[in-house]
């Protein structure tokens, strides 16, 4: 997630100090308490620190929201897998790859460890047709063979 968590703490400290200063200025003004004003260059440093803190806070907030969204997606996939929806998750993955219905059927047989001739027999088609469909599956998945397809599927779905 974050490789340098100390950045968050520095950001929080900068924001806290700048916010505390501005809050003190407002409270002192409302209550009529005399406050020692900062010299113009020190005040500009405080304002710059507050501005940088706000901007970095917004950027960090967006980054953390994206990380949380990704973690939520992974958690939902894990929940579906553990609740017996493995086939549905794999079907969704095949759809994301853009596989046709025939390619999806062949991909299932490939994942089950069947040979090209076994798949051809089951689908009542020629081995050459199954080979062409496997080539299309591997191309769409960006892999070069069965083992890489299986590895990609495990990596993308389970991890």
pLDDT digits (tens, 9 = 90+) for 3-35: 677 877 887 887 788 888 888 888 988 988 887
How much is the pLDDT for 116?
92
In angstroms, the CA 85 to CA 91 distance is 10
How much is the pLDDT for 39?
85
How much is the pLDDT for 157?
76
Compute CA 58 distance to the chain's CA centroid, rounded to the nearest angstrom. 18
Q: How far is CA 7 from CA 54, 56, 144, in A?
A: 14, 10, 42
**Is residue 53 within 8 Å of residue 15, measured between CB atoms?**
yes
Report DSSP state, residue 89.
Answer: H
How much is the pLDDT for 43?
79
In angstroms, the CA 18 to CA 22 distance is 6
**Is residue 46 within 8 Å of residue 38, measured between CB atoms?**
yes
| Encoded tokens for 98 | 């853009």
Delimit the domains of the chain by residue range: 6-82, 86-158
Residues of the chain with pLDDT under 70: 1-3, 80-84, 158-159
How much is the pLDDT for 20?
85
CATH number for the domain formed by residue range(s) 86-158: 1.10.10.10
How much is the pLDDT for 52?
82
């Amino acid at each position: 997630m974050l490789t340098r968590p100390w950045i968050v703490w520095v950001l929080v400290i900068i924001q806290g100090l700048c916010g505390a200063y501005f809050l003190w200025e407002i409270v002192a003004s409302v209550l009529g308490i005399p406050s020692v004003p900062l010299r113009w260059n020190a005040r500009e440093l405080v304002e710059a620190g507050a501005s940088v803190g706000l901007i970095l806070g917004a950027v960090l907030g967006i980054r953390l929201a994206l990380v949380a969204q990704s973690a939520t997606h992974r958690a939902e996939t894990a929940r579906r897998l553990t609740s017996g929806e493995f086939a549905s998750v794999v079907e969704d993955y095949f759809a994301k790859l853009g596989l046709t219905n025939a390619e999806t059927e062949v991909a299932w047989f490939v994942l089950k460890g069947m040979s090209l001739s076994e798949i051809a027999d089951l689908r009542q088609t020629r081995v050459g047709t199954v080979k062409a469909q496997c080539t299309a599956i591997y191309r769409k998945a960006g892999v070069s063979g069965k083992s890489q397809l299986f590895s990609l599927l495990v990596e993308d779905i389970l991890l």
